[in-house]
Amino acid sequence: MKILSVVGARPQFVKLAPIAAEINRRSSLQHVIVHTGQHYDQNMSQAFFDGFGIPAPDFNLEVGSGTHGVQTGAMLARLDSVYAVSRPDVVLVYGDTNSTIAGALSAVKLGIPVVHLEAGLRSFNRHMPEEINRVATDHISDLLLAPTETAMSNLRTEGLDGKSKLVGDVMTDVCLQVRDAVSKKEPKFRNDSYQPYILATIHRAENTDDPVRLKSIVGALQSLEKPVYLVAHPRLTSRAREFGITLEGGAIVTRQPFDYQELISTVMGAEGVVTDSGGLQKEAYLLETPCTTVRSETEWLETLEDGWNVLCDKPSELDEIVNRDRPEFPRGTAFGDGNASAAVIDEIVGMRG
Ligand code: UD1
C-alpha cells in the first residue's frame, strides 16, 4: 500500500515524524512525502526534518507565502501532477492549514481516498481560517481520525461518525518521547539565568493582524514581572515591523523560532506558557506547565480542566491570569498514552479490508 502524506507548515512536520517512523517499520507500506513549501525558512521547516530524522520530501511544491487564495490555489495547481506521477492508494492530510485543505481537495477530485488526521477539532469560530480548513477537510475526506472523545463528539454532531475513528493524539507520541529524551538536561533558560521565566508565542492572524490588538498583547507581555521569552514566528515579526510595534522591551526578550527539542526543554523549565498556538497549549499541558491561551476559545477543551490552561481574550487580564496559583490536581490523560501512530496506521491499512 502506498500512503502519500501532504505537509507544509511547522506543526505538520511534528505530526509527520511518528507517522513516518511507523510506516517505515511496516515492510508492506510505501511512503511518499509531499512538502507544499508553505513554510520554507530553515528554522520553520528543514530543522524539523533534521531534528526528527524524517526522510527528505519526495516532492517540494515550493508555493511559499501569499494570500489564502493564492497559496492554496498554487498548491492545488501543483498537486494534480504529483498525484498522477506517484499514484498513491491513499492521501493523508494533517491538521488544519492551507496545505491540509489543498491536499484533501486535490485528491478527492481525482478519486483518491483521503484520510484526515486530527479530525473533528472545532473552535466554532468561522473567522479563523483554520476552522474553515478543518470543517471542509472533514466533510470531503473518506476516513476521519480523531484525537479525542471531544473531537469524536463534534464529528457525530455533524453526521460524520460513520467514517470516524478515535485513534488518540499523535502529537502526544512525539511530545512524550522528546520529553523523555531531554528530561535529563538542564532547561535552557533556567540554566542561563537561574530565574523563573515565561515562554510566549503569538502567531494567529486574529492576534497579529490587527495593530490595536497586537499592540495591547505585546504591552501586556512586556508588563509581566518575570522575564518573558517570546519565540517569534515570522508572521509576528513581520506584522510588528509593519505596524511600528517594538517587541523587545520590559519583560520581553525575543528569540528566533526553536526546533522541537529546544521548545520542549524550554516549556519544561518554564513557570508558565502564554500562547495562541493549538499545539503549544497541549504540549504545556502534557508537560505540566500552566498555560494561558490568548484567545476566546480553544479546540483542546480538555486542557482547560482544573485550570492547567486558562483562556485570556483580554490582554488587560493577562497579568492576573498568568500569576494564578498552580493547579492542585494532576493533569488528565485525555490525549492518550503516546501510542496513537500505530493506531493511525492500523486504521489506514484497514481501509482496504
Ligand atoms: C500557518 C497555519 C496555522 C498554523 C501555523 C503554524 C494556515 C491558514 N495557517 O499559519 O494554522 O498554526 O501555520 O506555524 O495554513 N513566513 C516566513 N517564513 C516561513 C513561513 C511563513 O517568513 O517559513 C511568514 C510570511 O510572511 C507569511 C507569514 O509568515 O506570509 C504567514 O505564514 P502562513 O504559512 O501563511 O501562515 P502561518 O501564520 O504560519
**Rg of the chain taking only CA atoms, in angstroms:** 20
Name residues contacting ligand 1 (CB within 6 A).
9-11, 38-41, 44, 65, 96-98, 129-130, 203, 233-235, 238
Ligand 1 centre and the CA of 122: distance in Å?
20
- Please tell me the distance from the alpha carbon of residue 41 to that of residue 234, in angstroms, as a whole number: 9
- Please tell me the distance from the alpha carbon of residue 112 to that of residue 72, in angstroms, as a whole number: 19
Are residues 37 and 62 in contact, defined by beta-carbon separation less than 8 angstroms? yes
Ligand 1 centre and the CA of 40: distance in Å?
10
SS3 135: helix
- Find the helix or strand (DSSP H, E) in which 152 lies: helix 149-157
Ligand 1 centre and the CA of 66: distance in Å?
9
Ligand 1 centre and the CA of 342: distance in Å?
29
End-to-end Cα spacing for the chain = 12
Q: What are phi and psi of 216, to 5 degrees?
A: -75, -30
Supply the pLDDT for residue 313.
Answer: 97
Mutate which of 43, 49, 94, 97 for ligand 1 pocket (most atoms within 8 A of beta carbon)? 97
Q: Whose CA is nearest to atom 4 of ligand 1?
A: 97
What residues act catalytically? 203
Closest CA to 22 of 261, 348, 280: 348
Nearest ligand 1 atom to alpha carbon 97: 15
Instruction: Quote the distance between the C-alpha of residue 288 and its chain's center.
Output: 18
Q: Exposed (0-12), middle (13-18) or buried (19+): which is 244, by Cβ within 10 Å?
A: exposed
Q: Whose CA is nearest to atom 3 of ligand 1?
A: 97
Ligand 1 centre and the CA of 38: distance in Å?
7
Q: How many CB atoms lie within 10 A of CB 52?
A: 20
Residue whose entry in the numeric block shows the C-alpha cell 492521501: 91
Model confidence pTM above 0.85? yes
Buried b (16+ CB within 10 A) or exposed e, 319-335: eebbeeeeeeeebeebb
Which residue type does 343 have?
A: A
Give per-residue pLDDT as tens, 45-74.
Answer: 999 999 999 999 999 999 999 999 999 999
Query: What's the grid cell of residue 97?
Result: 492549514
Supply the pLDDT for residue 183.
Answer: 78
Are residues 251 and 323 in contact, defined by beta-carbon separation less than 8 angstroms? no
Buried b (16+ CB within 10 A) or exposed e, 252-274: bbbbebbebbbbbbbbbbbbbbb
Closest CA to 49 of 75, 85, 78, 10: 10
Nearest ligand 1 atom to alpha carbon 208: 38
- With residues binned 3-state (H G I as helix, E B as strand, rest as coil), the percentages for the chain, rounded to 5, are 50, 15, 35
Mutate which of 231, 235, 256, 276 for ligand 1 pocket (most atoms within 8 A of beta carbon)? 235
Which residue type does 227 have?
A: P
Give per-residue pLDDT as tens, 323-332.
Answer: 999 999 999 9
SS3 170: helix
Nearest ligand 1 atom to alpha carbon 203: 38
Q: Whose CA is nearest to atom 21 of ligand 1?
A: 39
- Find the helix or strand (DSSP H, E) in which 18 lies: helix 10-25
Closest CA to 147 of 117, 190, 108: 117
Query: What's the grid cell of residue 102?
Result: 489543498
Ligand 1 centre and the CA of 157: distance in Å?
30
Q: Whose CA is nearest to atom 17 of ligand 1?
A: 234
Low-confidence ranges of the chain (pLDDT < 70): 184-194
Q: How many CB atoms lie within 10 A of CB 160?
A: 18
Nearest ligand 1 atom to alpha carbon 38: 34
Query: What's the grid cell of residue 126?
Result: 468561522
